[in-house]
Amino acid sequence: MRYSSTVQLSVGPAVVYPFVFNLSRYVEWMPMVHGVEEVSDDVWVVELRAKVGVFARSKRLRMRRTVTSPSMLVFERDEVDGRKHSPWVMTVLVTPTESGSAVTIDLSYGGTLWTAGVLDRVLASQVEAGKAALARVAYGA
């Protein structure tokens, strides 16, 4: 599964960057990020949660920031339990625009937990809600 979405913001990259650089900040604006535990400067344990009707699905992932640049961040699943896990990769692009910035989040997932049709739609709706919330927190910064 791969999902990509972009939001246009009327604030510059320097305002937006702190909200996407540290996964601990995602609880402020991304509804599917239920909790984050910071392990080190570039490693977090992230709990994702989404509701489908009366049911809730959740997943805990140990994520490491593997690329850090002024315009691109990459977070990859990095479990340390010795077992084989499905890959999760999130790439965040923050680019300047004439009116502010554009933030593109590209999420790829190699497992089956979140890809059962209905969950794809739930993921898409969570990301759309997150885009609006990112704009709110960035404008309030």
Residue 75 structure tokens: 């977070």
Report residue 43's pLDDT band, with 50, 70 and 90 as the boundaries.
very high
At 89-137, the pLDDT tens digits run 999 999 999 999 999 999 888 876 555 566 677 777 888 899 999 999 9
The answer to whether 38 touches 24, Cβ cutoff 8 Å, is yes
Tell me which residue range forms the domain holding 8. Answer: 2-140
> What CATH number is given to the structural domain containing 33?
3.30.530.20
Following DSSP, what letter does each residue of 25-71 receive, concatenated?
A: GGGGT-TTEEEEEEEETTEEEEEEEEEETTEEEEEEEEEEEEEE-SS
Q: Which amino acid is at 57?
A: R
> Structurally, how many domains does the chain consist of?
1
Nearest to 50 by CA among 113, 137, 131: 113
Q: What is the mean pLDDT of residues 52-71?
A: 90
